[in-house]
Structures are given as C-alpha cells and as structure tokens.
C-alpha cells in the first residue's frame, strides 16, 4: 500500500475545523469552564465500575445502557460528554444519541485518559 499526502479542499477544511471547534473541548478548557462555574453538565458515559475508580469532578455517570433516561442532561445548557480515551468512540456515539434527542452536546477530546494525563483533579464516588 502506498501512502500519499494530498492537498485538501480549503473550503472543506474550514467547514470541518469550524465544526470541530464548536463541538469539542479539551480537558483544560473543561476545567477552566468548570472552575469559572459556567453552567454545564458533565456526563461520563463509561461503565459504572470505571466511573467509581475516578472521574471528572461533578460528572454524572450515564453508561450506554441508561442513555434513554437522559439523566443529568439539560436542554438549557451545554452537556460535556466524555468516555475513555481518544480512540474510544463511545463519547461520539453518545453525543449523536443525545443530539438526536434535542440536547446541546460537546465531546471532551481524549476522554478521561487525557484528563488524567494533565494531572487534573479527580473525584472518586459511587456511580
């Protein structure tokens, strides 16, 4: 297989990156907004057994089996969604599900793994 780098369409790139900036935040940005007490819900879509080991402070655990409940989501503020890592698509899948239900969603880049890499405060509690 030959790898080739090709020139992309600048208009398509502009559209892609505008969307990416509107629909994703990095862990440091989430921490900043949380510290500033900006109204938002933080939703952890990982399994309950992983949530109790550590999660973003203030996050609500909403594993895939409970998405229909929409517990913790709010229609009047952004809902920050995260999963395990940059290679986990569970967060994106959850964002699509919740957006289809009419909720404003933003995916946290890199999931909980990136949160820990930045050595940000963690919370441990029941799901």
* The CATH number fitting domain 23-117, selected from 3.40.50.720, 3.40.250.10, 1.10.940.10, 3.40.30.10: 3.40.250.10
The enclosing H or E element of 43 equals strand 41-44
The whole-angstrom separation of Cα 115 and Cα 52 is 15
DSSP per-residue letters across 44-100: E-S-HHHHTT-B-TT-EE--GGGGGG-TT--TTS-EEEE-S-TT--HHHHHHHHHHH
The reported pLDDT for the residue numbered 126 is 63
* Nearest alpha-carbon partner for 80 in 24, 123, 19: 24
| pLDDT at residue number 24 | 97
Spatial separation of the C-alpha atoms in residues 107 and 42, rounded to whole Å: 10
| Alpha-carbon gap, residue 12 to 6, rounded angstroms | 14
State the pTM of this model. Answer: 0.90
Report residues of the chain scoring pLDDT below 70. Answer: 126-127
Q: How far apart are CA 71 and CA 40, in angstroms?
A: 14
pLDDT for 125 equals 83
Instruction: Supply the pLDDT for residue 1.
Output: 77
State the pLDDT at residue 127. 52
């Amino acid at each position: 297989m030959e790898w080739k780098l090709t020139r992309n369409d600048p208009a398509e790139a502009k559209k892609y990156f505008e969307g990416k900036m509107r629909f994703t935040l990095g862990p440091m940005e989430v921490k900043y907004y949380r510290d500033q007490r900006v109204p938002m819900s933080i939703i952890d879509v990982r399994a309950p057994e992983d949530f109790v080991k550590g999660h973003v402070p203030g996050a609500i655990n909403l594993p895939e089996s409970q998405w229909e409940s929409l517990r913790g989501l709010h229609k009047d503020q952004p809902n920050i969604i995260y999963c395990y890592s940059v290679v986990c698509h569970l967060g994106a899948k959850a964002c699509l599900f919740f957006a289809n239900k009419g909720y404003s969603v933003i995916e946290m880049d890199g999931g909980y793994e990136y949160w820990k890499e930045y050595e940000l405060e963690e919370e441990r509690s029941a799901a």
